[in-house]
Chains A and B, each alone.
Chain A
Amino acid sequence: MLSLYQPGQSLLHRLPAGGKLLALSLFGVLIFLTREPLVLAAAALGAVLLLWHLRLPPALLLRQLAVTLLLLAFLVIANGLLVSWNEALIVGLRLLALVAAATAVTYATRPSEIIAALQAALRPLGPGGEKAAFTLGLVLALVLRFIPEVLFRIRELREAMAARGAPAAPLRLIVPLAIRLLRSADEVGLALEARGFPPDLTRPSKERIEVR
């Protein structure tokens, strides 16, 4: 259920997800084909402007990008000290451009649209493509779904341990966390079954559902 997506009406929101992903991939390749700081600065500025045009609350951006920006700063300083400050500038601008562009696309694209675009790309790859694409989409959705649940369960266990006066050592969390997640996965599996998984993609569309 983890998603950076923020609803909106910007131009980037309205572009098709497949096009955005393709453009992002090309952008990622192109900025690694040049070492010209001026070109990279223009690319980074463009990406930051793209992110800016989404008009997201600065506090939200800062909260969600803080770790990435710290990592970026660390890489720039390390490159500056260990290689050269020119190299640090190139690395910094490249990563800034990439992070800003990817963040903008992620904020402006529903996870389901990203999954659907990946499915569409995979569909022609072979026999049973439709089913494989559907399953891949479901797997990606489940991964997104379980990330915040794992974080929630960890917090819950830490609080339970703290309430009982026990230090919340990470090793102590592993077994109860695994048990809770397995139970949860079991329930999700049952719910998927109850909702009609596996999908019936073999029937002609008219027969697939008869709305009652």
Chain B
Amino acid sequence: MRIDFQQVCVTRDGRNLLDSLSLSLEERRIGIIGANGSGKTTLARLCNGLVLPDTGRVLVEGLDTRKEVAEVRRRVGMVFQFPEAQIIQPIVLEDVAFGLQLRGFSGKQARAEAEELLRRLDLWELAERTAHSLSGGERQLVALAAVLITKPELILFDEPTNQLDLRHRNRLRARLRALPAQVIVVTHDLELLDDFDRVLLLDEGQLVFDGPPAQAVARYVAACA
């Protein structure tokens, strides 16, 4: 999937969150790094129309996020930084099925698909749990399942390992590697990006480096020293 940013500016409260950004993203695994407030989350949210540019435009496979946002969101899934926000239904199985119900599947069909997916992802033991009883790591994996069920072409991850212990971090990392979909990951977990195809480094709303992970990370570490 190709995403084009054309002269994109995003301003909030008089501050430039992103400043005249132009680039195209096509690689299968893309990382976004940078200090807090550098515009990472804004850049990711532009890809599914949760943030709209003040000037310029964002095209997802040629679809303008301003004009065709519903179609864009059918094709682009997102795992939020705090996955509890995106868990809507009281029971895990129901929440995973919910994404399909939003797309017109009957409750029965959606449930059957959700059951199959949870078994495939080795999360079946969580199916009947209430969402608030899950640990942070379990929530992250459930949130991912809830996105995967709609089979998006691109999945955005906003700091996916932020609240995870080492076991869940490794589990999520393995899951990320195995995903057939294209992914864009916003993260402070630099190791996560080791085998990514491309990493963008942002600083105060500007793209300051765009290239292979090792060089991007080295540049970032040097800038923070």
Chain B residues near A142: list those with CB within 8 A.
88
Which residue from chain B places its CB closest to the CB of A207 in the assembled complex?
B104
Q: Would B94 and A112 count as touching, CB distance under 8 A? A: yes
Taking CB atoms, residues of chain B closer than 8 Å to A197 are 102
Q: 0/1 per residue, A189-212, Cβ < 8 Å to B?
A: 011111111011101010011011
Chain B contacts for A190, CB-based, 8 A: 50, 80, 85
Q: Across the interface, which residues of A come within 8 angstroms of B147, CB to CB?
A: 195
Q: Which of A21-29, A144-152, A166-174 contacts B (4 or more CB under 8 A)?
A: A144-152
Consensus secondary structure, chain B interface: mixed
Contact between A195 and B91, CB atoms less than 8 A apart: no
B99's contact among A134, A138, A195, by CB below 8 Å, is which?
A195
Closest CB in chain B relative to A145 CB, distance in Å? 6
- Separation of A138 and B78 alpha carbons in the complex (Å): 20
Not counting A5-B91, A5-B130, a sample of 11 additional A-B residue pairs whose C-beta atoms are within 8 angstroms of each other reads: A1-B87, A3-B91, A112-B90, A152-B132, A190-B80, A195-B99, A195-B146, A195-B147, A196-B103, A205-B104, A209-B74
The interface residues of chain B lying within 8 Å CB-to-CB of A3 are: 90-91, 130
Asked if B56 CB lies within 8 Å of chain A CBs, one says no
- By a CB distance below 8 angstroms, the chain A residues around B80 are 187, 190-191, 194
Check if B150 sits within 8 Å of A196, measured CB to CB: yes
> Chain A contacts of B130 at CB under 8 A?
1-3, 5
CB distance from B65 to the nearest CB of A (A): 12
A130 to chain B, nearest CB (A): 10
Contact A194 B90 (CB under 8 A): no
Chain B stretch 127-177: residues in CB contact (< 8 A) with chain A: 128, 130-132, 146-147, 150-153
Q: Using A152-B132, A188-B85 as known contacts, say yes or no to A199 and B90 having CB atoms under 8 A apart.
A: no
Residues of B within 8 A of A200 (CB): 70, 102-104
User: Which residues of chain A from 1 to 35 have a CB within 8 Å of any chain B CB?
Assistant: 1-3, 5, 7
Nearest CB of chain A from residue B71's CB, rounded to whole Å: 10
A-B contact count (CB 8 A): 111
Q: How many residues of A contact B (CB 8 A)?
A: 38
**A residues within 8 Å of B by Cβ?**
1-3, 5, 7, 110-112, 116, 134, 138, 141-142, 144-145, 148-149, 152, 184, 187-188, 190-197, 199-201, 203, 205, 208-209, 211-212
Cα A200 to Cα B98 in complex, Å, equals 13
Counting chain B residues whose Cβ lies within 8 A of the other chain, the interface size class is 35 or more
**Residues from chain A with Cβ under 8 Å of B100 in the complex:** 209
Would you call B132 and A209 a contact (CB within 8 A)?
no
Q: Which residues of B contact A208 (CB under 8 A)?
A: 103-105
Residue contacts A-B, CB under 8 angstroms, 12 given = A1-B90, A144-B90, A187-B82, A188-B85, A191-B88, A195-B99, A195-B150, A196-B73, A209-B103, A209-B104, A209-B150, A212-B151
- In the complex, the answer to whether B99 meets A192 with C-beta atoms within 8 Å is no
Answer yes or no: B89 CB below 8 A from chain A CBs. yes
CA gap between A187 and B143 in the complex, in Å: 14
**B94 contacts across to A, CB distance below 8 A:** 110-112
CB distance from B84 to the nearest CB of A (A): 8
How far is it, in angstroms, between the C-alpha of A121 and the C-alpha of B100 when the chains are bound?
Answer: 22
Contact of B132 among A148, A187, A193, A203 (CB under 8 A): A148
Query: Does B211 interact with chain A (Cβ within 8 Å)?
Result: no
